[in-house]
Copies of this chain bind each other. A is one copy, B any other.
Amino acid sequence: MRDVAAASGVSQATVSFVLNDAPGQTIPAATRDRVRRAAAELGYRPHSIARALREGASRIVVLEAGGLPRGHNLSSFIAGLDEELGAAGFGLLVAYGEGVSAQAAITAIEPRAVIDLPAVYAGPDRDVADGGWIDGMVAHRLVQLRHLMERGHRAIAVAVPADDDPFLALMAGQVRDAAGELGLPSPLPLVVDGDPEKPAGLLKAGVTAVAALTDDLALSVLAALADTGLSAPGDLAVIGFDDTPHGALWRPALTTVRLDARAYGRRTARTLLGLPIGDARPAPARVISRASA
């Protein structure tokens, strides 16, 4: 920066003003040009550590994605964040809960903000941080259930995990709400705990289809079905939610729903940066119709 200042015959302060488009400064176009040109020629790159020291926080935001299902929906949310944050000159770091040293790294970074999606889901002030993702969730579950209804199913169970993850519990509630909105009877829970007899038991109760909270849960159900000589969708239709890459590899290939979480990611980023939401309008959820339902 000192070199740029020298090369363009101004002070470091002026360089800073120009390069950051500092508001409330009135610098002649000629000077600005000279500074910018010099910066470009010298290959000036702001030193982010120094900037972070000065600003009290780095221009990095962290997304804690610890317990989240890792499918297309998350990737897509991340892509959205990436886009907007990148455009604003911010960096994005995704933490998948790798371990202590990862936590150490994150605190060392002094991020500008951290988006803790799992925590957000638990708390009440959600829409602030997730760009409305959650609030749209019931609508997305509608898409999932509707696909089943269109195929003649009304007795639908919902596959939930054995452990009680708060995030997944919230999802379960959304499925119930969606079922209510569609005038469906409240869905029976199918607790996925490795017992291959569970789905067969459901059949006896008259259930004809299962909507899973996540693709992985759906896959577990398919596995249990296969283990007991049953098959999807003949004996039981199964639909997932997340579009993980390995859902497509299964046989029968998993039917699932894919969200346009990218728009939510963009909205999250924009609110985080204090920008207007803009045009990031999420497309409706889409059923990826494969073989299992």
* A positions within 8 Å CB-CB of B: 48-50, 52-53, 58-60, 78-79, 81-83, 85-86, 89-94, 96, 98-110, 216, 219-220, 222-223, 226-227, 244-246, 249-251, 253
A101 to B273, CA, bound (A): 14
| B94, B220, B226: the one within 8 Å of A96 (CB) | B94
A48 to B108, CA, bound (A): 5
A112 to B123, CA, bound (A): 36
A245 to B110, CA, bound (A): 33
Whole-angstrom distance between the Cβ of A251 and the nearest chain B Cβ: 4
| B91, B101, B249: the one within 8 Å of A105 (CB) | B91
Whole-angstrom distance between the Cβ of A229 and the nearest chain B Cβ: 11
A244 to B105, CA, bound (A): 26
A104 to B245, CA, bound (A): 27
Inter-chain contact A92/B86, CB cutoff 8 Å = no
Inter-chain contact A91/B101, CB cutoff 8 Å = yes
Known: A58-B49, A108-B58. A93 touches B93 (CB 8 A): yes
Inter-chain contact A101/B92, CB cutoff 8 Å = yes
| B92, B96, B104, B219: the one within 8 Å of A249 (CB) | B219
Contacts of A49 in B (CB 8 A): 49, 52-53, 58, 108, 110
| B85, B220, B245, B249: the one within 8 Å of A101 (CB) | B85
Within the oligomer, what is the number of copies of this chain? Answer: 2
Q: Main SS of the interface on chain A?
A: helix
Inter-chain contact B92/A60, CB cutoff 8 Å = no
Contacts of A249 in B (CB 8 A): 216, 219-220, 222-223, 246, 250
Whole-angstrom distance between the Cβ of A159 and the nearest chain B Cβ: 13
Contacts of A58 in B (CB 8 A): 49, 108-109
A249 to B79, CA, bound (A): 28
Closest 9 CB pairs of A and B: A91-B105, A82-B99, A48-B108, A86-B101, A226-B251, A92-B101, A91-B104, A246-B246, A86-B100
Contacts of A98 in B (CB 8 A): 78, 82, 92, 94
Identify the interface centre among A92, A103, A226: most chain B CB within 10 Å of its CB.
A92
Inter-chain contact A108/B220, CB cutoff 8 Å = no
Whole-angstrom distance between the Cβ of A19 and the nearest chain B Cβ: 16
Contacts of A79 in B (CB 8 A): 99
Contacts of A82 in B (CB 8 A): 98-102
17 residue pairs of the A-B complex, CB under 8 angstroms, read A49-B49, A49-B53, A58-B108, A60-B108, A79-B99, A82-B99, A82-B100, A83-B99, A86-B101, A91-B102, A92-B98, A216-B245, A223-B249, A223-B251, A223-B253, A226-B251, A246-B246
